[in-house]
Amino acid sequence: MDRVIIFDTTLRDGEQSAGAALNIDEKLEIARQLERLRIDVIEAGFPITSPGDSEAVRRIAKEVREPTICALAHANKDAVDAAWQAVKEAQHPRIHVFLSSSEIHMAHQLKKSKEQVLEAARSNVARAKGYLDDVEFSPMDATRTDPAFLYQIIEATIAAGATTVNIPDTVGYTIPKEFCALIEGIFKNVPNIKKAVVSVHCHNDLGLAVANSLAVLDCGVRQIECTINGIGERAGNASLEEIVMALRTRRDLLTYTTNVDTTQIHRTSRLVSDLTGMSVQPNKAIVGANAFRHESGIHQDGMLKERTTYEIMDPRDIGLTGTTLTLGKLSGRHAFKARLEELGYTLSDEEFTRAFADFKELADKKKEISDRDIEALIAEEMRTFSETYHLEHVQVSCGDHLVPTASVRLIGPGGQLLADAALGTGPVDAVYKAINRLVGVPNNLTEFSVKSVTAGIDAMGEVTIRIESGGRTYTGRGAATDIIVASAKAYMNALNRLLSAMQKA
């Protein structure tokens, strides 16, 4: 088989990124977009960890029908049972059982012998198999595991019913040559290995996750686990878009195919970035803002003569138009809707009505509205979809001879109208103090950044902030042509995430 199964774990491992917590509706929205991207397997979550995660997996399993929907479980009967309850309504359900296998994990984390680990792995894979046919097993920290024990645990779990065995580089420790040798050893020393698909899950602590994932395809690996934008625990996971586009671009050496619709990559990257609050760095491969920009005069000259002189990929292949269509205040509903569809957005009638009203308001402030303005506007619309408190009004007065003062009006639970004012060291500080007095949730602002969405004096500004409360970090984003308003929206977005987490707890 020359097709590589793409296993996306954005909603599970990706959500483990610090400050990237998603609510149920946000997870479902991303899952639907992953379905449009034609992902083979979506790891939707870890049901045993919380009722909220269990419900998110259940809703995704029920509503997202084309991909395999996978739930993660410890090698523990309660976790396996919870995983089954969450995915049992899926069209194509899978349970993914994992258990540490390295000496360092067994000694210090599990405090179990090899025999106990082997039995726990075997028995819980068998328990999962009793519920469904599609079972995956991962010996966690496999790249630091004694190879002889690794062969033993893989053979036992395949015999117990595992149809996929995943080899995780859990701490991003291995390098391509070493990883290839490990995979080759598995194929040579596990007698029943051909009864299962061999998968890999690589972390990026040494910046080698994509390289390691691609290197082992020639050794027989046929599933790669990855995330959108490479997000995940610590330094992240192998980047889905880099893996897929490497396979597409270097077909001369990598003779493998995927089922992915690459034209949905850019849209998916933006959605995940917006909902997690994790910005994509400009120089990020494939989806970074600079990935298809050319500054050098020599490069620009080559591009004008022949695009392929300095571009190895066509930006249209990942869903970029290559050109920017501008809309203005005279544009109607049909033109706006057509542009949304071209950009990959599908809105309900209610969402479209609100978005069009926001578009018209923005058009009164800007002469021309670009694709990036529209993307920022839709992202702002999605951020206000499920709020505990909504920012109704903000007004500030400030200057070099004035004490910065802000008045704020919020719509609270049940439609309650709340208003207050505060003084601050600057206009943003005054706004945040007024909001804090109304919401009354203790928190510390740990990060504040501003960037321009587009060029020009009338550009939309996008503010990203992080707040900390109870030892957890919450990210918020807001966009507006007025940077103070954008700052207020970002703070409300972060506070609503915090309040949602408190309600779940």
Residues 98, 138: contact at Cβ < 8 Å?
yes
**Other beta carbons less than 10 A from residue 273's beta carbon:** 18
Task: Give the single-character DSSP code of 440.
Answer: -
Mean pLDDT of the chain: 91
Nearest-angstrom CA–CA distance, 29 and 91? 18
Same domain, 354 and 414: no
- Can you give the pLDDT at residue 307? 74
Q: How far is 118 from 109, CA to CA, in rounded Å?
A: 16
Please name the residue that has the structure tokens 């869903």. Answer: 319
pLDDT tens column, 6-52:
999 999 999 888 777 788 988 999 999 999 999 999 999 999 999 98
Q: Is 292 a domain residue?
A: no
CA distance 44 to 28: 9
Structural domain includes residue 315: no
Instruction: State the Cα–Cα distance between residues 170 and 167, nearest whole angstrom.
Output: 9
Q: What CA–CA distance (Å, rounded) separates 315 from 308?
A: 11
Please indicate, yes or no, whether residues 258 and 329 belong to a single structural domain of this protein. Answer: no
How would DSSP label each residue in 277-300?
Answer: T-PPPTT-TTTSTTTT---SHHHH
Residue 309 covered by a domain: no
Does one domain contain both 375 and 422? no
**What secondary structure does DSSP assign to 53-112, as a single string?**
HHHHHHHHHHH--SSEEEEEEESSHHHHHHHHHHHTTSSSEEEEEEEE-SHHHIIIII--
Helices and strands (H, E) in the chain, number of each type: 16, 14
Element (H, E) at 392: strand 390-399
Instruction: Tell me the pLDDT tens digit for each residue of 320-355.
Output: 865 455 677 777 888 888 878 777 777 888 888 888
Give dist(CA 341, CA 348) in Å, integer: 12
Q: Domain holding 34: CATH number?
A: 3.20.20.70
- CB-based contact 397:405 (threshold 8 Å): yes
pLDDT of residue 384: 61
Prediction pTM value: 0.79
Residues in the chain: 505
Say if CB 94 and CB 132 are below 8 A apart: yes
Burial class from Cβ neighbours inside 10 Å (0-12, 13-18, 19+) for residue 249 reads middle
Shortest CA distance to 137 belongs to which of 184, 186, 67? 186
* DSSP state string for 173-227: ---HHHHHHHHHHHHHH-TTGGGSEEEEEEB-TTS-HHHHHHHGGGGT--EEEEB
Q: What is the CATH number of the domain that holds 471?
A: 3.30.160.270
Task: Output the CA–CA distances (angstroms, integers) from residue 187 to 1, 2, 5, 172, in the order listed.
Answer: 16, 17, 18, 22
Q: Within this chain, do residues 60 and 104 fall inside the same structural domain, yes or no? A: yes
Is position 289 within any domain? no
Report the pLDDT value the prediction gives residue 297, as an integer from 0 to 100: 64
CB 247 within 8 A of CB 220: no
C-alpha–C-alpha distance, residues 59 and 31, integer Å: 10
From 143, 77, 151, select the one nearest 114 (Cα to Cα).
Answer: 151
148 and 216 together in one domain: yes
- Alpha carbons 320 and 127: distance in angstroms, whole number: 46
Predicted local distance difference test score (pLDDT) of residue 125:
98
Number of domains in the chain: 3
Here the contacts of 390-398 (C-beta below 8 Å, separation 24 or greater) are: 390/492, 391/488, 391/489, 391/492, 392/417, 393/419, 394/431, 394/484, 394/485, 394/488, 396/427, 396/430, 396/431, 396/484, 398/426, 398/427, 398/430
CA trace torsion 58, 60, 64, 67 (10° rounding): -90
| Residue 327, strand partner residues | 369
| CA nearest to 200, candidates 228, 178, 174, 169 | 169
Do 352 and 495 have their domain in common?
no
Regions of the chain short of the pLDDT cut 70: 1, 294-297, 299-300, 303-304, 321-326, 382-386, 455, 505
CA distance 378 to 336: 12
Q: Does residue 302 sit within a domain? A: no
Q: Are residues 39 and 167 in the same domain?
A: yes
Using CA atoms in the order 34, 38, 43, 45, what is the torsion angle rounded to 10 degrees?
A: 30
Domain range enclosing 483: 390-504
Asked whether residue 142 falls in the same domain as residue 73, the answer is: yes
Answer yes or no: is 301 within a domain.
no
pLDDT of residue 439: 94
Q: Are residues 345 and 264 in the same domain?
A: no
Specify whether 137 is located in the same domain as 178. yes
- Collapsing DSSP to helix, strand or coil, 272 comes out as helix
Instruction: Name the strand (E) or helix (H) holding 473.
Output: strand 472-480
Give a yes or no: residue 293 inside a domain: no
Residue at which a domain ends, from 342, 365, 383: 383
Same domain for 87 and 156?
Answer: yes
Q: Is residue 380 within 8 Å of residue 358, measured between CB atoms?
A: yes
Count CB-CB contacts under 10 A for residue 219.
Answer: 17
The position carrying tokens 């802000």 is 406
Residues 180 and 258 in one domain: yes
Q: Is residue 316 domain-resident?
A: no
- Three-class secondary structure assignment of 142-156: HHHCCHHHHHHHHHH
Among 11, 46, 50, 49, smallest CA distance to 28 is for 11
